[in-house]
Amino acid sequence: MIGKEAQQAQPAPSSLLVIFGGGGDLTRRKLIPALHELLRQKLLPERFAIIGVDRNEGDDESYRELLQRSAQAFMAQGFEQESWSALQERIHYLQGDFLDLESYHRLRQELERLAGERGIAPNYLFYTATPPRFFAEIARGLGEAGLAREPEGHWRRLLVEKPFGSDLVSARALNHTLHEIFQEHQIYRIDHYLGKETVQNILAYRLANATVEPMWNHRYVDHVQITAAETVGVENRAGYYDQAGALRDMVPNHLLALMSVIAMEPPNSMEGEAVRDEQAKVLRAIQPLEPEEVLTRAVRGQYGPGRDARGVPLPGYRQEPGVDPESPTETYVAMKLMIDSWRWAGVPFYLRTGKRMPRRFTEIAVQYKHAPNMKFKDSMVKRANIPPNVLVLRIQPDEGIELSFNAKEPSPVPRLRQVEMDFCYADYFGQAPSGGYETLIYDAMCGDPTLFKRADSIEAGWELVQPVLDVWQALPPRDFPNYAAGSWGPEEADQLIRSDGRQWRNLPTGPSDANGG
């Protein structure tokens, strides 16, 4: 939605949304609540319908009842019976097997029936809310049924969830399969971090403020930290997570997506392709890690037993239900990356993500270089540096922007103290920003690709991660578990940044952080 000139968003064009995996967790937790919110905001088209496709037996009524129970649980205060009823009557169900071509022909018949009976334009949006092993099969099935071809004046779009491949080879293979059936402009690869309002606001903050962009370079920035910390463990995802691990799950998509937004050059326009061109350039400019560099610039960890912020005992990863008792899977990753460009020459980007951390937060911290000390040598503790200015872009949960700077204390004696200016979305705009899926679904309906990943960016991300995967596979970890649940990660991660004379930005914790996700 970046770059839309209209002051008031208009309803999306008439269409039908097909959700493969219609009875799954993602649909119930995220997609249906997002559609409910779009309806509340009057952004769904008047002529619109949803078809959930899944293997379980059921009909329209049983499917609607299932979704209503979930909606009331997951929407909490956002649930409104009137708007839910308006959405519910547009929801339909089709029992089908993702591997059975006959299911796709029946789907085509159902789409044509609903379009005709309800006067809906034959524009189809297909959402793969399924395990990744079905992505290619769903695309093939749609192609066989003739549902990928775009008749004159109408569109067909495929929304693909992450993970997009499990390594470079599989990502390329998936791209190849999709391109055999769909054209690139029809494929919308989702990274829900890019849908978050706070991520979109990064470009607005940079490019709409004359005080920011002139200092957004190696002359003023010392380093950048990108953190995605979770307090939860593997939860009910052991089957997937024990095969994927933190590196595959978070780095090629979420963390590199944030890095590409923070480090990109200003685009010539805010149109989708112009923005995505600049993001792709960042990924291609990141210096690849040689095998020997993986040992010094990438750290992995796995949590063992520990305690949360309230002192409640927490199991180790290997004690979680469904996890191999001798699992070598990492639950923590830290990396140091460098961008080979004039803007960012010499500026390290530190990325980290982990489970069972003391506090849940996702943020980008831009630390500026130290100011000269001499003029204030009598205002500080002996040999101490003036504290650096730090700009923090909070992605979640307390969405906002924070800037720390130095000010003189009110005293006859000149003393400096670090103070903060803090902008919070909820306080200023009266509501928290959306979780991301509302924006992404709406943009896909409107044909705006800005917040979605292209094939080249997907493969560039995996090219950066592949050397780390190769080295870690060749050298299994010997010290797992190497950090306690409820701690900030392994000592090696602290050493990674400490060896450069820097330290991680760890937020204070309290009992309220124990229940975060």
Tell me phi and psi for residue 280, to 5 degrees: -65, -35
Look up tokens 């100011």; give the residue. 371
Q: Which two tokens stand for residue 324?
A: 């191999």
Q: Where are the beta strands (DSSP E) in 96-196?
A: 124-128, 156-160, 187-189
Task: Please calculate the CA angle 87-125-77 and round it to the nearest 5 degrees.
Answer: 35
Q: Which two tokens stand for residue 155?
A: 């569109």
What DSSP string describes 291-307? HHHHHHHEEEE-EESEE
Active-site positions read: 254
The stretches of 5-77 forming alpha helices (DSSP H) are 25-26, 32-40, 60-74
Among 216, 253, 199, 264, smallest CA distance to 394 is for 199
Contact 464, 256 (CB under 8 A): yes
Q: Which two tokens stand for residue 292?
A: 């020997």
Among 289, 222, 298, 301, smallest CA distance to 502 is for 222
Among 513, 8, 485, 49, smallest CA distance to 233 is for 485
Contact 329, 298 (CB under 8 A): no
Helix (H) or strand (E) holding 440: helix 437-446
What DSSP string describes 307-345? E-TT--EE--GGGSTTS-TT----SEEEEEEEB-STTTT
Using DSSP, state whether 326 is helix, strand or coil. coil
* Residues whose CB is less than 8 angstroms from the CB of residue 367 and which lie 6 or more positions away in sequence, other chains included: 221, 222, 223, 224, 225, 388, 389, 390, 502
Contact 272, 443 (CB under 8 A): no
The stretches of 226-346 forming alpha helices (DSSP H) are 238-250, 256-263, 272-285, 291-297
Distance CA 37, CA 437 (A): 10
Q: Which two tokens stand for residue 127?
A: 């959402």
Whether a cis peptide bond, with omega within 30° of 0, leads into 477 is no
Contact 165, 134 (CB under 8 A): no
Distance CA 220, CA 343 (A): 10
What DSSP character marks residue 515? G
76 burial level (CB within 10 Å; 0-12, 13-18, 19+): exposed
